[in-house]
Amino acid sequence: MAKEALFTMKLEPELRDEFMAEAKSADRPASQIVREFMRDFVEKQRRARAYDIWFRAKVEEGIREADDPTVKRIPDDEIVAEWRRERAEIVKQLSDRAK
C-alpha cells in the first residue's frame, strides 16, 4: 500500500516520548504501530456499525412479528415444559454414557 498521506497530530510531549521509547524497545517504527492502531480502530468501528445494523434489523423484525396477529403464539409454559423435557433427555444420555 502506497504511503502518500501525511498525518499530523498534537499530543503531550511525555506521551510522545513514552510511545517512541516503547516503539524502539519493540524494534518497530512508531509509524508502523500507529498505522496498526488506525487499522484496528477502523475495523472495530466497521464491525460495531455492522452489528448495530444487524441488531436494529432484528429488533424491528421482532416488533413487526409481535404486532402481526397471524404469527403463531407459543405460551411460556409450553416452552418451559419443552426445555425441561430436552434437559431431562440430555441428562439421561449423559448418565447412560457414564455407565
pLDDT for the residue numbered 1? 66
Other beta carbons within 10 angstroms of residue 16's beta carbon come to 13
Q: Which residues of the chain have pLDDT under 50?
A: none
What lies within 8 Å, CB to CB, of 30 at 6+ separation is: 19, 20, 23
**78 in a structural domain:** yes
pLDDT for the residue numbered 12? 97
pLDDT for the residue numbered 91? 95
| Structural domain total, the chain | 1
**4 in a structural domain:** no
**59 in a structural domain:** yes
